[in-house]
Amino acid sequence: AQTVTQSQPEMSVQEAETVTLSCTYDTSESDYYLFWYKQPPSRQMILVIRQEAYKQQNATENRFSVNFQKAAKSFSLKISDSQLGDAAMYFCACSSGTYKYIFGTGTRLKVLA
């Protein structure tokens, strides 16, 4: 069975600073994908970044990057130059070939002006 754990219910960051959100996962599959989704107050689910497990290189998308540690089953999200618009719930997710996405419980990010 797949599990995804986000141990930080809430995080705060000063505007323009950097913050890292943690995620650990467990899966018995050798081929899987990892994701970070952003959910603003509107509740819309927005894909932030995606990582294929077979790729060693960490994914980056502008100010967002991940630290993928496959052996440790860790997948953290780093947000650089934080902006007020980054305030949201962030969900980590894992998907294997069964089409099932398993989500963590989320981390609420507050950005302080």
Partner 1 sequence: NAGVTQTPKFQVLKTGQSMTLQCAQDMNHEYMSWYRQDPGMGLRLIHYSVGAGITDQGEVPNGYNVSRSTTEDFPLRLLSAAPSQTSVYFCASMRANGNTIYFGEGSWLTVV
Residues that bind partner 1 in the complex, under the rule CB under 8 A: 4, 6, 9, 33, 35, 42-45, 47, 50, 52, 91, 95, 99-106
First CA to last CA distance, the chain: 41
Q: From the CB of 32, what's the least distance to partner 1, in Å? A: 9
Question: Residue 84 has what DSSP assignment?
Answer: G
Contact indicator for 66, 49 with CB cutoff of 8 Å: yes
3-state secondary structure of 104: coil
Closer to partner 1 by Cβ: residue 77 or 104: 104
Closer to partner 1 by Cβ: residue 81 or 100: 100
3-state secondary structure of 35: strand
Q: From the CB of 5, what's the least distance to partner 1, in Å? A: 10
Tokens encoding 46: 């927005």
Closer to partner 1 by Cβ: residue 39 or 76: 39
Q: From the CB of 17, what's the least distance to partner 1, in Å? A: 26
Tokens encoding 28: 């018995």
Closer to partner 1 by Cβ: residue 33 or 64: 33
